[in-house]
Amino acid sequence: MNIVPLAPPAAAPARLHITGLKKAFGALPVLRGVDATMPAGQVTAIVGPNGSGKTTLIKSILGLVRPDGGRILLDGRPLRPDGADRARIGYMPQAARFPENLTGREVIALLKDLRGAAAPTDETLIDAFGLEPELDKPLRTLSGGNRQRISAVLAFLFDPDLLILDEPTAGLDPVASSILKDKIRAAQDRGKTFILTSHIISEIEELADRIVFLLDGRVRFGGSIAEIMERTGQSRLERALAHLMTGKAA
């Protein structure tokens, strides 16, 4: 399969710029020189089959995995190894792990205390989701959907510049999903940058401005949805991605 070169940089300034990122676990290479750009004010979807390196790439950005080589630049500056840049990153995992004995309100208060009293917060999703009656219940008693709502609140809580959303609408009903998508669009309008992973193709089509397609730890395509369909000769994103995964794209 031929590697499709990355598309020319978007007009928007790069919020996150990754060059030559490498990571191996023992003798197993997982990232093999990843190059990618996530422009400010855009949603970049990271897609690829299982084992392609998506999780390791995200953990590298979050500082949970230390790469063996390459660079990750946030607004032109390398991410600091002490984790100081995490304050600018919001993360919504696919399945959030909370202290089960705490309530949602206590978790929010705990994070505020860790960040410091001076940190401004954005709690508008609490009202938008109708979460107020659920916040004083132990997290272990909440439904999966309400836990996901709380996870979204925490991701946006400190108004971060970069948000990483891993399967964000999993477990959400259509109303909550629409509220979250509206929140994403409003944050984009204010210049926030998003990295999205999702197995829901229609969600990628609806939200993503760009796609970074990973296969075997390498970027096989980077560009817009229109560009990926043109390169693969397909009229639907699902078919275009399938062509990339099976190596049929030119």
Using an 8 Å Cβ cutoff, are 160 and 89 in contact? yes
pLDDT at 198: 92
Calpha distance 236→164 (Å, rounded): 25
DSSP-derived secondary structure letter, 135:
T
State the total domains in the chain: 1
β-pair partners for 32: 22
The domain containing residue 196 runs over which residues? 14-246
Question: Which pair of tokens denotes residue 193?
Answer: 């940058």
Task: Give residue 247's pLDDT.
Answer: 67
**What is the DSSP-derived secondary structure letter of residue 133?**
G
CB 67 within 8 A of CB 21: yes
List Cβ neighbours of 48 (8 Å cut-off, separation of 6 or more): 54, 213, 214, 215, 245
What are the residues whose beta carbons fall under 8 Å from the beta carbon of 108, sequence distance 6 or more? 123, 135, 153, 154, 157
In this structure, the number of other CB atoms found within 10 A of the CB of residue 223 comes to: 19
- Distance, in Å, from the CA atom of 26 to the CA atom of 14, rounded to the nearest integer, reads 32
* pLDDT attached to residue 202: 92
Q: What is the pLDDT of residue 42?
A: 95
Let me know if residue 70 belongs to a domain: yes
Task: Report the C-alpha gap between 250 and 247 in whole angstroms.
Answer: 8
Instruction: Give the tokens for residue 26.
Output: 């023992």
DSSP SS3 for 216: coil
How far does CA 92 lie from the centroid of its chain?
Answer: 8
C-alpha 249/C-alpha 2 separation (Å) is 8
Write the CATH number for 47. Answer: 3.40.50.300
| The pLDDT of residue 12 | 55
* Whether the Cβ atoms of residue 177 and residue 92 lie closer than 8 Å to each other: no
Domain assignment of residue 105, yes or no: yes
The 3 state secondary structure assigned to 69-124 is: EEEEEECCEECCCCCHHHHHEEEECCCCCCCCCCEHHHHHHHHHHHHCCCCCCCCH
Indicate whether 5 belongs to any domain: no
Q: At what angle do helices 237-246 and 225-232 cross, to 10 degrees?
A: 60
Give a yes or no: residue 78 inside a domain. Answer: yes
Q: How far apart are CA 183 and CA 152, in angstroms?
A: 10
Q: What are 153's two structure tokens? A: 């609140």
What is the chain's pLDDT, residue by residue, as a tens digit (250 residues)? 443 444 444 445 668 999 999 999 999 999 999 999 999 999 999 999 988 999 999 999 998 999 999 999 999 999 887 777 888 899 999 888 888 899 999 999 999 888 876 778 999 999 999 999 999 999 999 999 999 999 999 999 999 999 999 999 998 999 999 999 999 999 999 999 999 999 999 999 999 999 999 999 999 999 999 999 998 898 899 999 888 888 654 4
Count Cβ atoms below 10 Å from residue 215 Cβ, excluding itself.
Answer: 19
